[in-house]
Amino acid sequence: MISKPKITHVRPKKRLGQHFLRRKEIAQKIVDALEVGAEDTLIEVGAGTGELTRLIVKKAGKVVAVEVDETCFPTLQVLADLNKNLELFLDDIRGLDLSHYGCVTGVLGNLPYHLSAEILFWLLDQRDYWKKAVLTVQAEFADRLVAEVGSHDYSALSVVFQTFLEVEKLFDIPSSAFVPPPKVKSTTIRIKPLEGVELPVSEDRFIKFVRACFTHRRKRLANNLKIMGIPSPDKLLGKLGHSPTVRPQELSSHDYIELTGSLA
């Protein structure tokens, strides 16, 4: 006789950055923010023990839940047996090709703090295949994503993601909502790909350039450009209407596109 999968207790693993959400009302708030219906296909990043999964399968037409921790799978398999619209993958989300699912309506997940940037870059690379994402990240990381030009939190990360994505902070989540409680506050964000983004160079080259411009963020941008081997950076910045003393955090994503174009 074949034994059926059973719900099992899973101890959060520090090496995977696991913090399991245990407040149903917050989980429901996250799911509601995605605004999906019976015709929609969703990807869940890091399903864990299914706190969000068991709510989202009631709304979406299809849910593809990806989890890298095999000890979570018995519990997730119970959910899959009860919900035929749930498909499971034991894998790292960064290995999933979203083009196989046509146009995914939404992406959902509470991201491991140490992998948040990498997962966002994975989403950025595949933004032709999803429409919106609701993600929970470290509050400090969320602040950097939405930071305004010239602010303390404004960084290369801000420039890159504001170039390609619309980013919106939705609400904060207290540490007490997770097991184990993280030492930092969490924030749920909603992101959507921006349409009609045109770059004078490849995306990879643009991103590398922006990162290089912020290598020494306290120095003048002209100094960083000079380190990159760009001749007469003061004159270049002047032609674009910027002071030769301008610093990296004082230029918008549009300014960086213009600057990249002047060097192409």
The superfamily in CATH containing domain 203-263 is rRNA adenine dimethylase, C-terminal domain (1.10.8.100)
Contact indicator for 65, 77 with CB cutoff of 8 Å: no
Contact indicator for 197, 163 with CB cutoff of 8 Å: yes
Fold agreement (14-193, 203-263):
no
pLDDT at 72: 82
Per-residue pLDDT of the chain (264 residues; tens, 9 = 90+): 344 555 555 565 555 555 667 789 999 999 999 999 999 999 999 898 889 999 999 999 999 999 888 888 888 999 999 999 999 998 899 999 999 888 889 999 999 888 999 999 999 999 999 999 999 999 999 999 999 999 999 999 999 999 999 999 999 999 999 877 788 899 999 999 999 999 999 999 999 999 999 998 788 999 999 999 999 999 999 999 999 999 999 999 999 999 999 987
Dihedral pair phi/psi, residue 173, rounded to 5°: -125, 130
DSSP per-residue letters across 149-207: TTSTT--HHHHHHHHHEEEEEEEEE-GGGEESPPSS-EEEEEEEEPSS---SS-HHHHH
pLDDT at 161: 97
Q: How many CB atoms lie within 10 A of CB 100?
A: 9
| Cα 256 to the center of its chain, rounded Å | 21
Dihedral pair phi/psi, residue 224, rounded to 5°: -65, -40
pLDDT at 147: 97
Nearest partner of 145 among 174, 173, 127, 124, judged by Cα: 124
Nearest partner of 120 among 170, 158, 74, 77, judged by Cα: 158
Model confidence, pTM = 0.90
CA distance 264 to 254: 15
pLDDT at 3: 47
Ranges of each domain in the chain: 14-193, 203-263
Contact indicator for 93, 130 with CB cutoff of 8 Å: no
CATH number belonging to the domain at 14-193, selected among 2.40.37.20, 3.40.50.1860, 3.40.50.150, 3.30.1490.190: 3.40.50.150
CA distance 4 to 57: 21
